[in-house]
Amino acid sequence: MEYFTTERLVVRDWAADDAEAAFGIYGREEVTKWLGAPPMQPVASLEAMREVVRRMIARSAEQPGYGLWPMVRRDDGALVGAILLAPVPAGDGTVEIGWHVNPDYWGHGYATEAARAVIRLAFGSRDLDRVIAVVYPDNTRSLAVCRRLGMTHHGRTDQYYGVTLELFSISRPQ
């Protein structure tokens, strides 16, 4: 299923044949050190990544309308990253956005482009009033994305994942 498109990207469900490209993201420590609490370890092998992709495909049916979806370039089909729109595990109704980009594609604006579109989705068909982003304090690239999105910085928090993260939010326009 396709969730949305942007000028350069298609955001859709995972497919089994995404595993190799996904390994280019989640098999790299420069990406995974910013994901999870504590930070996740890089996926160890392509076979392990295939299993992760299988689980992501199965999980997409569990929370319709939310998930971690691949970002694919429209011009050549390259999987450049993934974009997140999902409730935080705290179960308080808060929904977060996030982005995971293959380092080969850093610096091209894909995270910002996809995040702007997922925010429109959140305030549109998902009918949310607010979304948050939580970012490790040293993750300068993601902090810059939050600022480019016009998100409000609320300081540091350990409320959502039990580690100290920078908290940002954006609310539905009035």
pLDDT value of residue 169: 98
Per-residue pLDDT tens digits for 35-92: 988 889 999 999 999 999 999 888 877 777 899 999 999 999 999 999 999 999 877 8
Give the amino acid at 33: K
Spell out the domain ranges in the chain: 2-171
pLDDT value of residue 63: 73
Q: What is the distance between the alpha carbons of residues 134 and 162, in angstroms, rounded to a whole number?
A: 12
Q: What is the distance between the alpha carbons of residues 121 and 3, in angstroms, rounded to a whole number?
A: 9
Look at residues 173, 166, 128 and name the one whose alpha carbon lies nearest to residue 145: 166
pLDDT value of residue 27: 97
| Confidence grade of residue 1 (pLDDT, cut at 50, 70, 90) | confident
pLDDT value of residue 38: 83
Token pair of 9 as six digits: 């990207």
| 57 dihedral zone (left: phi>0; alpha: psi -120 to 50; beta) | alpha
Fold of 2-171: Aminopeptidase (3.40.630)
Say what the pTM is.
Answer: 0.93
Per-residue pLDDT tens digits for 106-157: 999 999 999 999 999 999 999 999 999 999 999 999 999 999 999 999 999 9
Q: What are phi and psi of 130, to 5 degrees?
A: -160, 145
